[in-house]
Chain A
């Protein structure tokens, strides 16, 4: 086996730059050679270790900066680290991070034990590290003493030699002591009882604990938007005000949006009551009533965002996601996940369910905790969803967001199946529902011929479209699975279109605006109905360009033209 070749392949594998030929070669080596498999795991284990060790070093640096956290009335403890648990938790990196997740699902005593064990291990690692550092210093000092120059004639001066011997002996003594400390640090076992257990006072079922007593209330989030008379701790709240640890908010007939330091946004609708806001160890709050929508940034390792209610507990563990919770007394707690992954726990049964993107689940008394598919009402496709084939389209940048830009093309007639350049978009949609097709775009042409620089065709796979009768010129372009859109050239700027914006008589004869009984074609939106549920595909073709396309919106609800400023469905 050629080790250098294998390492070169593994480098590309790690960096995600392996091409098909390289992948085949690597697969062949792995399958045929035991040595290759050993080298693979050595190299990939090293890749994992570098990340882990870097993370731990960073954690230790953070831990030194971190102040001890404010805690609620602590139980008396033995062996409790004097500098607080949090720094050690951070220092222990990923491993300890997961303990925080564990703590969320354990009973109080178990959680305390786990926390204390983690602190013990972290402390043990710190002791070992400190001892190793001292040993290193001793060794350097010993080398310095041994390297000290002797007298010019090559013979040691008796007095200095004596001093050096004494210094070396003292060093050896120090080394023995540090060795002993190091041995203890390695061999020490965690005490059998790390936490002095105090009997728990009986707690009423389903009543959350009281708000923590804090010395100085720390800011949890800022109130980014507010409408109506929202109360925070029974006082009228204002935009720009900080929401602090343990506060309670009540939206009444109003609404409020909170902005966390990491960009996470949580909006509470009218009729919501939420309290117990915390950020120590992860964002957390309790909802008594109402509904909320959250756009959650990726959370730090081991610090998921947790939303609790009487019926359930939603733990946000995935990447960026949206959740909506309706904790009504009868219906329980409903969790809709639009992006990412959330864990929902039913407090009654103790069961948990992983609710993935596009699904919902309800935690309710006696109800089954089963993730179900969310209805897909609105689909917004932008340049971010686009895969471009051929040279007629490109993605262009603008301050308000990227858009698709077509070449200045004029096609009098063409079969879209024969066109070699198009934009492909894939998305999920339901079967057998009518989606109105809206396209937000603009004609980029200038001069008198703008009317001939403003046409596109959207062609769907495994779908049936319906559109008011188009002018005969559209014939070759638009089949029973396609929609023809045009008319942007009549207007300046960006505009939503749902068909041909020219004016048509009911019989499909194009007329001048304001003449006869003609109506703009895009006031009667085209619709598309997919024949199978799940993943769908569309292709966008330019018929007359240059065109700018910002978005394609498939909607079950939007039946009239949206305002030009609107960029998609209103959440």
Chain B
């Protein structure tokens, strides 16, 4: 019974860490698997696996590294399962990316805030494409159908607005840094 209670505590500790790192983990998964729905599924699978393996985690060690290792396996598994999806990047590239993945530090929240501000400056048409792509989670062909645009035009629009957001965020962060 005591062992059971100890296990429960361990599970809860891991789940709390998961909640605290959800955004970071989701970002990591989206990096390796850029499709929102599939990334969301993988995130849920990671949650369940971490819960199942909670007793393997040693408090005080690097939770992010552990969770990312699990997430990496789940992402590769998902690629294997979904034959219609684009192929995963090669193992060497994935390893390099995993090693360079951003950490959970203060600068992350600054980047997020900067992007939030920049999103307010997006022109209405670009806002519309972003809403359809991200809020409604539509693929470019469906967005094109809704807006009666060509698919290429949607791709170009998305690329432009993402480029604008990147540059705007960088400018804001530089100003804040100064």
Chain A residues with a Cβ under 8 A of chain B: 7-8, 11, 13-18, 23, 26-27, 30-31, 34, 37-38, 40-55, 58, 94-95, 98-99, 101-102, 105-107, 110, 114, 301, 317-319, 341, 343, 349-350, 352-354
Tell me the interface secondary structure of chain B in the complex: helix
A85 vs chain B, min Cβ distance (A) = 16
B135 near A341: Cβ-Cβ < 8 Å: no
B22 near A50: Cβ-Cβ < 8 Å: no
29 A-B residue pairs with Cβ-Cβ distance under 8 Å, sorted by A, are A16-B85, A16-B86, A17-B86, A23-B86, A30-B96, A31-B93, A31-B96, A44-B30, A44-B31, A45-B102, A45-B111, A48-B30, A49-B112, A50-B162, A51-B36, A52-B23, A58-B135, A95-B23, A98-B18, A98-B19, A98-B22, A101-B47, A102-B12, A318-B41, A319-B37, A319-B41, A350-B8, A352-B52, A354-B52
B46 vs chain A, min Cβ distance (A) = 11
User: Which A residue's beta carbon lies closest to that of B31?
Assistant: A44
CA–CA, A51 to B51, complex, Å?
26
A15 CB contacts on chain B under 8 angstroms: 34, 139-140, 155, 158
B89 CB contacts on chain A under 8 angstroms: 23, 26-27, 30
CA–CA, A81 to B44, complex, Å?
29
B51 CB contacts on chain A under 8 angstroms: 105, 352
Q: Is B149 an interface residue (CB 8 A)?
A: no
Q: Is B69 an interface residue (CB 8 A)?
A: no
Chain B 125-144, CB-CB to A under 8 Å as 1, else 0, gives 00000110011000110000
A94 near B23: Cβ-Cβ < 8 Å: yes
- CB within 8 A of A44: which of B19, B27, B108, B116? B27
CA–CA, A110 to B9, complex, Å?
10
A41 near B102: Cβ-Cβ < 8 Å: yes
CA–CA, A317 to B41, complex, Å?
8
A16 CB contacts on chain B under 8 angstroms: 34-35, 85-86
CA–CA, A43 to B162, complex, Å?
8
A37 CB contacts on chain B under 8 angstroms: 96-97, 100
Residues A11 and B158 in contact in the complex (CB < 8 Å), given A55-B135, A101-B47:
yes
A47 CB contacts on chain B under 8 angstroms: 30, 34, 162
Q: Is B119 an interface residue (CB 8 A)?
A: yes
A30 near B49: Cβ-Cβ < 8 Å: no
A510 vs chain B, min Cβ distance (A) = 41
User: Which A residue's beta carbon lies closest to that of B156?
Assistant: A11
- CB within 8 A of B44: which of A23, A48, A317, A350? A317
CA–CA, A107 to B140, complex, Å?
45
Q: Is B67 an interface residue (CB 8 A)?
A: no
